Structure 1
Amino acid sequence: MTDRETEGAMRKESVWDYPRPPRVVADSRHVVVRNGRVTLADSHRCLRVLETSHPPVFYVPRPDVRIELLSVSARRSLCEWKGAATYWSLRGKAGRPPVPDVAWSYEAPRPGFEAIAGHLAFYPDRVEACTVDGERVRTQPGGFYGGWITEEITGPFKGGPGTWGW
């Protein structure tokens, strides 16, 4: 085991230790988002949003996203902390249909979250693979939230049945 693997194996994060309101932190690990053979995002400059009861959400800076493969969707939502979300769909290509709402962004986030402006977050269950330093991410339960679960993250997590009132 390398030093980095040992460090990762020892480090655990409980989502119950994350703050409310959420906090934005820089993360230099290698994040890759793929759909089929196409890399949609590849970065060492992500931001993570950490919020009580939620797995972290990785926000990828727009220059590290193949934005030409995405189009703005009609879907919108509102976060009490971050503001109005814009959703992004994967364009159809070479006989493949479009994939709706694979990512979202906050184009003009509320105060305290300005750092995530110009970044996109991806739903791990709407693309074929999201990885952090080569580890394949598992998706947050429930379909609405887009948290990324890795081996270092412990729950229980908001999103599944019976958790919406948390």
Structure 2
Amino acid sequence: MERIARQPAAPGQESVWDYPRPPAVDPSGEVVEVVFGGATVAQTTSSLRVLETSHPPTYYLPLAAFEPGTLVPVTGTTFCEFKGAASYFDLVHDGVTAPRAAWTYRHPSPGYEQLVDHVAVMPGAVDACRVAGELVQPQEGGFYGGWITSRVVGPFKGAPGTRGW
């Protein structure tokens, strides 16, 4: 594997290459919003950031932060070697559906119990995600759910050619 060229972090920024593996769960008091179907469907100041080496943070919002009826459970799961089995939701609002755009860990692996009753959203599957008013850029690749803000520097896993990182 070739050596990854880290981007330097400026004051107030975090390098994803300083995040741990296995991932850490970090409570956040920032205002986190999800906009879908032209409306804010979730908003909280009680999110959790999952921080993993080479990945931008994935934000998990409390289930109660979502507007009623916007999360529709669907069949199928995936497995994370650290967090366990993920269950999925379609995100639905005003006749618009984003298939499997959100997920949760109903029974996470030991060490990730904080994630119970929290839901992550793929930022690329919705109109917008914001952290402290800043528009989030989705992590490339369509598989990982990282939220890129000006607060984090990479390079980030997910883009073509990064699978072996």
- 1:47 equivalent in structure 2: 48
Q: Kindly indicate which of the two structures has a greater share of residues assigned to helix.
A: 1
Tell me if structure 1 keeps the 8 A contact 2:37–2:96: no
Q: Who is 1:83 aligned against? A: 84
User: Is the 2:13–2:152 Cα contact (8 Å) retained in structure 1?
Assistant: yes
Q: What SS is found at the alignment partner of 2:144? A: coil
Is this contact kept in 2: 1:70–1:88, CA < 8 A?
A: yes
- Shift of residue 29 of structure 1? 0.3
Q: 1:163 to 1:111 in 2, by over 3 A?
A: same
Instruction: Name the residue aligned to 1:144.
Output: 143
Q: How far did 1:63 drift?
A: 1.2
User: Which secondary structure does the structure 1 equivalent of 2:145 belong to?
Assistant: coil
Q: In 1, are the aligned partners of 2:106 and 2:116 still within 8 Å (CA)?
A: yes
Question: Tell me, which stretches of 5 or more residues in structure 2 are unaligned?
Answer: 1-9
Runs (5+) with no aligned partner, structure 1: 1-8
| Aligned residue number for residue 59 of structure 2 | 58
Q: 1:60 to 1:86 in 2, by over 3 A?
A: same
Provide the C-alpha distance between the structure 2 equivalents of 1:74 and 1:115, rounded to a whole number of angstroms: 23
Count residues with an aligned counterpart.
Answer: 156
- The alpha-carbon deviation at position 74 of structure 1 amounts to 2.0
For 2:159, the equivalent position in structure 1 comes to 160
The equivalent residue for 1:107 is: 106
Alpha-carbon RMSD across the aligned residues, in angstroms, is: 1.3
Q: Is the 8 A contact 2:36 2:93 kept in 1?
A: no
TM-score by length of 1: 0.90
Query: Quick one: distance in 1 between partners of 2:96 and 2:64?
Result: 25
1:51 CA drift (Å): 0.3
Q: Offset of 1:65 from its aligned partner?
A: 1.4
